[in-house]
């Protein structure tokens, strides 16, 4: 697959080297005091910055809030928002909530899986796209719904879904 055309909101920064991660972590941590209650907000910042939780970052955070690394890993695996492996520049999320399910979400998911050649939860080998399904975006009245990076698209059809990820229709 060729590098896709830029879609609005694609993540530009890549995590880069260990050193780059370290210096970005320094920056993120300056906004926090080091209290246990900040653990999840810190992880959210890291997730947003890198698209996943690098192991090295999690160790840093453990030291920072004075808990064993296992606690940080435990939280990283518990919440669906956190990913432990790198994700693509473009995050494609499809709703699998009830409102969307009865209005044809499975067809949208199948179409995207076919278009991208990956399954729900995976990332394309070129790191361009990650495909996720999400429990509900709260726009159920416009079902089926998908979100490309941060833009919400309603009343999807397989054809519109294809366009939304920047693929031309035949």
Does 98 bind ligand FES (CB under 6 A)? Our answer is yes
Q: Compute the distance between CA of residue 90 and CA of residue 166 in angstroms, rounded to an integer.
A: 11
CB 15 within 8 A of CB 21: yes
Closest CA to 5 of 169, 150, 165, 170: 165
Does 161 bind ligand FES (CB under 6 A)? Our answer is no
Indicate the residue whose CB is closest to ligand FES. 97
Nearer to ligand FES, 60 or 103 (CB): 103
Residue from 154, 160, 166, 167 binding another protein (CB under 8 A): 154
Residue from 4, 7, 21, 43 binding another protein (CB under 8 A): 43
Closest CA to 48 of 71, 70, 66, 31: 31
Q: List, as one string, the DSSP characters of 91-121.
A: EEEEE-SHHHHTTTHHHHHHHHHHHHT--TT
Does 143 bind ligand FES (CB under 6 A)? Our answer is yes
CA distances from 47 to 81, 103, 106 (A): 8, 31, 27
Nearer to another protein, 4 or 61 (CB): 61
Residue from 24, 45, 47, 139 binding ligand FES (CB under 6 A): 139
Closest CA to 126 of 49, 22, 14: 14
| Residues near another protein, by CB under 8 A | 35-41, 43-44, 65, 74-75, 78-82, 95-103, 107, 110, 114, 134-143, 145, 150, 152-155, 158
Binding site for ligand FES (CB under 6 A): 95, 97-100, 136-141, 143, 145
């Amino acid at each position: 697959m060729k590098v896709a055309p830029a879609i609005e909101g694609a993540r530009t920064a890549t995590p880069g080297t260990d050193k780059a991660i370290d210096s970005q972590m320094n920056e993120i941590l300056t906004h926090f005091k080091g209290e246990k209650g900040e653990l999840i907000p810190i992880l959210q910042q890291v997730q947003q910055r890198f698209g996943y939780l690098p192991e090295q970052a999690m160790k840093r955070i453990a030291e920072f809030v004075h808990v064993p690394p296992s606690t940080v890993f435990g939280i990283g695996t518990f919440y669906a928002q956190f990913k432990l492996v790198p994700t693509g520049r473009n995050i494609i999320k499809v709703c699998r909530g009830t409102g969307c399910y009865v209005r044809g979400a499975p067809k949208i998911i199948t179409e995207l899986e076919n278009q991208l050649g990956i399954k729900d939860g995976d990332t394309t080998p070129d790191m361009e796209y990650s495909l996720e399904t999400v429990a509900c975006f709260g726009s159920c009245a416009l079902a089926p719904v998908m979100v490309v990076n941060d833009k919400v698209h309603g009343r999807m059809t397989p054809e519109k879904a294809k366009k939304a990820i920047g693929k031309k229709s035949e």
